[in-house]
Amino acid sequence: MARNHISKQISTKSTILLLFVSVLVGGALIFDYLWSSSSSSSVVYTSIHYNWIRENNDLVTLPNFFNGTDKIADFKDENGKIPVRLLSGTFADLAAPDIEWEEMTPAPVPRLDGASIQINELFYVFSGYRNLDHVHSHVDVYNITSKKWGESFATPQEMANSHLGTACDGRYIYVVSGQKGPQCRTPPVSETFVLDTRTRNWASLPPLPEPRYAPATQIWRGRLHVMGGGKENRHTPSTDHWSIAVKNGKALEKTWRIEVPIPRGGPHRACVAVGDRLYVIGGQEGDFMPKPGSPIFKCSRRHEVVYGDVYMLDDKMKWHTLAPMPKPDSHIESSWVVVNNSIVIAGGTTEKNPVTKRMILVGELFRFDLQSKKWHVIGKLPYRVKTTQAAYWDGWLYITSGQRDKGPDNPQPRKVVADLWRTKLSL
Ligand SMILES: *[C@@H]1O[C@H](CO)[C@@H](O)[C@H](O)[C@H]1NC(C)=O
Ligand SMILES: *[C@@H]1O[C@H](CO)[C@@H](O)[C@H](O)[C@H]1NC(C)=O
Ligand SMILES: *[C@@H]1O[C@H](CO)[C@@H](O)[C@H](O)[C@H]1NC(C)=O
């Protein structure tokens, strides 16, 4: 299904000759991370409705692009330059209905790779990067009813700042492992914390058996489950799965139990519990690593494989593979809500542009119907954005923060945003 959508979108009037020559997929690609400062100015959208899909891009057809094993074209011209217009990054956008977005009061700070938890009308937004050289160590709280960002409070000193695993039981918020410090600092921490949202007190839980980056984390059937994520070097995917019994903000056991490993490893996935089922959606293998010898752990890009796999754990602790997302999607750990027996996911990152190798952000809103187990593309976001944070309250879907695209015609990551948007959701 995904492929039909994609080929429909990318088969255009373009007459450019496509030469299938050799592949660059597979090797370790090291680029300096092109990071744009979040303080740079960008377009201000005064309209509440912003249609970012352009109809008439010049595109080439690139069959089977997403399976990662294909021979792809070498588009370099005689000067060794890549003619950008050959393959617009927007080719990866899927057809999606227009929906109206309303801009609300932005969060107090921009954040990327943060985390969020919603408890009724309160939307807790955790830490994250301000930019690559600065990370937050506080929580901002938005009251959806009063439409105000109110309180802000500190996280524990030993707690990680990004790539956290988070889960909530309605009162206590559990925060597991992650990266402490800016850039691509290794190794991650294994410390685990719990916040009592009534008292704002923090406490500790037994540390994970090993530290992890951005593991899939959820409370399910009385236990805090942690699985996947990236290992100590930030890049190697883990398939390990652990759990510990928790109640009222306390661990009922002294150590983590080893559980059945997840079929595919890696960080930046949505992890959702609905009844007797636990779902782990999307993600990637590989991530940025620190540049060897860099005293500041400067981020350098490595080979990544983004995927749209969906795994479901049943109450017999058996994994099932379900229909994949309409396209590969990663950086969605806080970008989902459950509404009306559907999981709704906003934005993310998809496979890199096969020609330019640039990172491509995702701007669609996806819905996974838990009844039919089918995916639908239900709308466009105000812009493409990764690690946006989602909440749902009283008929409205809210998204805030993350790193947005360069503009409607350029899906590469640019500005880290504090923006808060909402749209009426009816499924
Ligand atoms: C990937 O694409 C190649 C080349 O078109 C094809 O031979 C192969 O069967 C595809 N693999 C999958 C898993 O679709
Ligand atoms: C959120 O704001 C509303 C309206 O001002 C207020 O009545 C409510 O108590 C607030 N909720 C919390 C949990 O503070
Ligand atoms: C939930 O589904 C029911 C039944 O299809 C529908 O009537 C209702 O409007 C839906 N609610 C939302 C918020 O989408």
Choose one of 1, 61, 69 to mutate for the ligand 1 pocket test, by most ligand atoms within 8 angstroms of C-beta.
Answer: 69
Span 327-360, pLDDT tens digits:
999 999 999 999 999 999 999 999 998 888 899 9
Q: Residue 85, Cβ neighbours under 10 Å: how many? A: 12
Ligand nearest to the CA of 67: 1
Residues with CB under 6 A from ligand 3: 339-340, 395, 426-427
Q: Is 64 in the pocket of ligand 1 (CB under 6 A)?
A: yes
Q: Is 70 in the pocket of ligand 1 (CB under 6 A)?
A: yes
Say whether pLDDT at 11 is over 70. no
Q: By percentage, how much of the chain surpasses pLDDT 90?
A: 77
Which of 423, 374, 398 lies closest to 142 in space, CA to CA?
A: 398
**What is the structure's pLDDT at 151?**
86
**Cα R_g (the chain), whole angstroms:** 21
Span 99-144, pLDDT tens digits:
999 999 999 999 999 999 999 999 999 999 999 999 999 999 999 9
Ligand 3 atom nearest 340 alpha carbon: 1
pLDDT bin (cut points 50, 70, 90) of residue 81 is low
Range from 7-16, 35-44, 53-62, 392-401 that averages highest in pLDDT = 392-401
Query: What is the distance between the alpha carbons of residues 85 and 45, in angstroms, rounded to a whole number?
Result: 26
Q: What is the mean pLDDT of the chain?
A: 85
* Rounded distance from Cα 369 to ligand 3 centre (Å): 12
Choose one of 367, 394, 426 to mutate for the ligand 3 pocket test, by most ligand atoms within 8 angstroms of C-beta.
Answer: 426
Which of 408, 388, 305 lies closest to 352 in space, CA to CA?
A: 305
Choose one of 1, 70, 71 to mutate for the ligand 1 pocket test, by most ligand atoms within 8 angstroms of C-beta.
Answer: 70
**What is the structure's pLDDT at 2?**
39
* Rounded distance from Cα 340 to ligand 3 centre (Å): 6
Instruction: Estimate to the nearest angstrom the gap between the alpha carbon of 236 and the chain centroid.
Output: 18
Among 79-88, 311-320, 415-424, the minimum mean pLDDT is found in 79-88
pLDDT bin (cut points 50, 70, 90) of residue 56 is very low
Ligand 1 atom nearest 67 alpha carbon: 1
**Residue ranges per structural domain of the chain:** 102-424
Ligand nearest to the CA of 63: 1
How confident is the model over 63-80, as a mean pLDDT? 44
Cα dihedral sign for 245, 246, 250, 252?
A: negative
* Rounded distance from Cα 69 to ligand 1 centre (Å): 7
Q: Provide the CATH number for the domain formed by 102-424 in this structure.
A: 2.120.10.80
Say whether pLDDT at 78 is over 80. no
Helix (H) or strand (E) holding 7: helix 2-10
Residues ≥6 apart with Cβ < 8 Å to 377: 5, 94, 95, 96, 97, 326, 364, 365, 366, 367
* Rounded distance from Cα 142 to ligand 2 centre (Å): 10
331: phi > 0 → left, psi -120 to 50 → alpha, else beta; which?
left
* Rounded distance from Cα 378 to ligand 3 centre (Å): 14
* Rounded distance from Cα 44 to ligand 2 centre (Å): 30
Query: What is the distance between the alpha carbons of residues 396 and 393, in angstroms, rounded to a whole number?
Result: 5
Among 58-62, 161-165, 171-175, the minimum mean pLDDT is found in 58-62
Peptide bond into 411 cis (omega under 30): no
pLDDT bin (cut points 50, 70, 90) of residue 163 is very high
Query: What is the distance between the alpha carbons of residues 24 and 266, in angstroms, rounded to a whole number?
Result: 22
Query: What is the distance between the alpha carbons of residues 242 and 416, in angstroms, rounded to a whole number?
Result: 33
Say whether pLDDT at 82 is over 80. no
How confident is the model over 261-278, as a mean pLDDT? 98
Predicted TM-score (pTM) of the model is 0.82
* Rounded distance from Cα 81 to ligand 2 centre (Å): 56
* Rounded distance from Cα 123 to ligand 2 centre (Å): 12
Q: In the beta sheet, which residues pair with residue 140? A: 125, 152
Tell me the three state secondary structure of residue 197.
Answer: coil
Ligand 1 atom nearest 68 alpha carbon: 1
Whether residue 14 contacts residue 60, with contact meaning beta carbons closer than 8 Å, is answered with yes
Q: Residue 388, Cβ neighbours under 10 Å: how many? A: 32
* Rounded distance from Cα 271 to ligand 3 centre (Å): 23
Say whether pLDDT at 37 is over 50. no
**What is the structure's pLDDT at 24?**
32
**What is the structure's pLDDT at 354?**
87
* Rounded distance from Cα 143 to ligand 2 centre (Å): 6
Tokens 């990071």 correspond to what residue?
35
**What is the structure's pLDDT at 355?**
83
Q: Residue 257, Cβ neighbours under 10 Å: how many? A: 13
Ligand nearest to the CA of 426: 3
The closest residue, in CA terms, to atom 10 on ligand 1 is 67
pLDDT bin (cut points 50, 70, 90) of residue 318 is very high
Ligand nearest to the CA of 393: 3
Q: Is 122 in the pocket of ligand 2 (CB under 6 A)?
A: yes
